[in-house]
Amino acid sequence: MLFGWLPADPAETPTVLASMAAALRVTSGQRPTMWTLGHLGIGLLALRGVAMEDESCDPARSADGMYLWMSGEAFDWPSQGGIRSATESRSLAFRRRLLDALRSRGPEAIRDLDGEYQIALWNPPARTLLLLNDRFAALPLYVGASAHGTAFGGGVRGVLMGPGIAADPDVEAIQEAVSFGGYRLGTRTNVRSVRMIPPASAVSISPDAMTAKRYWTWSELRDGDGTDSEALLEDVRSAWTGAIRKRLDGSHSPGLTLSGGLDSRAILAEATRQGRVMTALTYGVPQADDVKIAGRVARAASARWKLHSLYTGGWFERRTSHILETDGLMDLVDLMHTEALDVMPESFDIYLSGYIGDVVSGATYLRISSPEQLLASMPYYGGRLGFSYERALDIARGLIAATPGAPRFAPYEQKLPQAISRISAAARPYATVRRPFVDYAFFEAAQRVPAAWRDRHEWHEQWLVSTYPELFDTIPNQRTGVPPGASWLQWHVTRAARFGWRRALQAAQAVGAPVTVPVRTYHPDERFWSMPAERAMIEQTVLRPESLSCDVFGRGRVRATLQDFFERGEAPVQVIGALYVFERYHQAVGTFLADAGRQIRTYAC
């Protein structure tokens, strides 16, 4: 990730940069390198062991003195003659090529630069810094300012090391989280002074001003204009093959996290077709249907399968330990994804992430055309602590108005960078993460599928079953319990049978029979969070005397919400998880930042 400081007084810049690096660094495998160039201080935090075409970490430099840095990778650039490989995109030669294109055409030059990246372009004579990110904001980028200067970086905690940038809570963050699925929306973070840069943005920072504009918008997509189903299916197949091929580049031991769903299975299927032996890491409770199906898929693909059991000794502390390094932006539910991070480096060097597959090519979010439909999709919780429906509907209207494209793209703009990108971002200090479902060519081909074809998951499942029958024809989807493409009747019969079988086993277990009751979900949080020690920690944190949540909502309402969850199973688990993380984050962030400031070290390229 990139980070930097554009100060009013450059004298303190080296110290600020070193403190930012200390705050941002998560693992010993991350290598910080920093430069001070007049009024700009900038750093790059890179993962050791990533294949490079050369050993240089230097910025590209033009003849008139401009500098360019890039973090992340690119996979294709059709308008500029393409890219040989992801490895090429990490070379100094590519950065020079990118600098030339930006100087010639401005931000428009990267409209079709397919990748997951952050770019910084420094113009010393104008004392102006240009920050750019990719279409999906895959690598989160944050910015904050004070009278002392402007800080930016790939983590909120790094930005907060900028002098004068305060960590004061944004109480609307917790109000949004308990209302909408456990997370914030749009550009919001947990602190008032720091905001996330939206997707496909060009942010210009100078000593006097900060402005932002879009270099690409969702409205540029050919939305649902396909007419020939077979031809479009072939286009999607070809684009998917290319997406996986490009994202396997440079990998010696590729892998993925494998669930019992369809999206990660689609990655495994194509990677196996391309002759790669994959490592499939599944995490969950061993008796879960999801875990069992994942194991079956891995065996069918001859993949190396690893099971990481959740909720083992110290699991709650492990989740809690990742709160500050994820900036308090993942609730306690999503922090389950961090429980397996430590085993990733020994499992694979390239991690192909399957998140948002059904959103891209299936029916999820497809029918959003109004604020009411967007609100239902977020989802809207309401309840004791949530916004009223009327207030939530006003927020949904604002989100649609702020989205440069059709209403169905509002989740891509306002929700997914908060809800999904955080999960893969948490893994980036441990492994190189690549997300084939946001490959630009594949994404654009999938958007051409008309809504009538995509509805009820029919087209998505047709693509998978017809292309990879060995992994989809007979192995169930965890969500339904039947293979993709099964009939409506088969799904309902299977659903009733699964329910009846569980009830029978529960009855047998109740009278002492030595049976194990399978569970649908791989992370039954409600059960494990209600254990005495975990419940006590959640309640003590959320109801602490200095509780921000109690100040916002009222102690009585917060206490009642906790009782609803622990004693009656009524409050959504994401609400409890959001309250706990918000309180724990603000309880500890001051000490964390002070410790980072004491760990300053100097690095040189």
Find tokens 């029916």 and name the residue. Answer: 363
Confidence (pLDDT) at 485: 80
Confidence (pLDDT) at 599: 80
Of 423, 421, 370, 422, the C-alpha closest to 399 is 370
Q: What residues pair up with 572 in beta bridges, in sequence order?
A: none
Average pLDDT over residues 16-41: 94
Average pLDDT over residues 50-71: 81
Helix ranges (H only) for 384-487 are: 389-401, 410, 416-419, 421-427, 440-447, 451-454, 458-467, 469-472
Average pLDDT over residues 100-126: 97
Is residue 494's pLDDT more than 70?
no
Find tokens 């009782």 and name the residue. Answer: 563
List the structure tokens of 173.
């963050």
Confidence (pLDDT) at 491: 66
Is residue 593's pLDDT more than 70?
yes
Confidence (pLDDT) at 492: 65
- Do the beta carbons of residue 406 and residue 223 sit within 8 Å? yes
Instruction: State the chain's mean pLDDT as an integer.
Output: 92
List the structure tokens of 536.
């006590």
Strands (E), 49-165: 60-61, 67-76, 114-123, 128-133, 142-146, 149-153
How would you classify residue 311: left for phi > 0, otherwise alpha for psi between -120 and 50, otherwise beta?
A: left
Confidence (pLDDT) at 480: 84
CA distance 253 to 350: 7
Pairing between β-strand 149-153 and β-strand 60-61 as defined by DSSP bridges: unpaired
% the chain with pLDDT above 70: 94
Is residue 496's pLDDT more than 80?
no
Residue-range domain boundaries for the chain: 2-219, 220-368+426-477, 502-590
Reported as a pLDDT band with limits 50, 70 and 90, residue 498 is low
Is residue 286's pLDDT more than 60?
yes
- If you average pLDDT over each of 267-271, 374-378, 461-465, which comes out highest? 267-271
Average pLDDT over residues 143-168: 97
Among 352-366, 391-405, 493-507, 525-539, the minimum mean pLDDT is found in 493-507
Confidence (pLDDT) at 601: 52
Of 182, 215, 461, the C-alpha closest to 333 is 182
Is residue 38's pLDDT more than 70?
yes
Average pLDDT over residues 30-58: 81
CA distance 148 to 10: 10
CATH 3.40.50.620 correct for 220-368+426-477 = yes
Confidence (pLDDT) at 497: 67
CA distance 389 to 202: 34
Of 178, 560, 574, 581, the C-alpha closest to 392 is 178
Is residue 285's pLDDT more than 70?
yes
CATH number of 2-219: 3.60.20.10
Reported as a pLDDT band with limits 50, 70 and 90, residue 49 is low
Confidence (pLDDT) at 605: 41
Q: How many CA atoms lie within 13 A of 298 on its CB side?
A: 22
Among 152-156, 436-440, 520-524, the minimum mean pLDDT is found in 520-524
DSSP per position, 217-264: -GGGS--S----HHHHHHHHHHHHHHHHHHHTTT-SSEEEE--SSSHH
Is residue 66's pLDDT more than 70?
yes
Listed in sequence order, the residues at least 6 apart from 311 whose beta carbon sits closer than 8 Å to its beta carbon are 285, 528
Q: Residues 442-465: pLDDT tens digits?
A: 999 999 999 888 876 588 999 999
Is residue 602's pLDDT more than 50?
no
CA distance 586 to 593: 11
Is residue 604's pLDDT more than 50?
no
Q: Residues 173-232: pLDDT tens digits?
A: 999 999 999 999 999 999 999 999 999 999 999 988 999 999 999 999 999 999 999 999
Average pLDDT over residues 74-82: 97
Confidence (pLDDT) at 456: 61
Q: Residues 311-360: pLDDT tens digits?
A: 999 999 999 999 999 999 999 999 999 999 999 999 999 999 998 888 99
Of 364, 365, 370, the C-alpha closest to 393 is 370
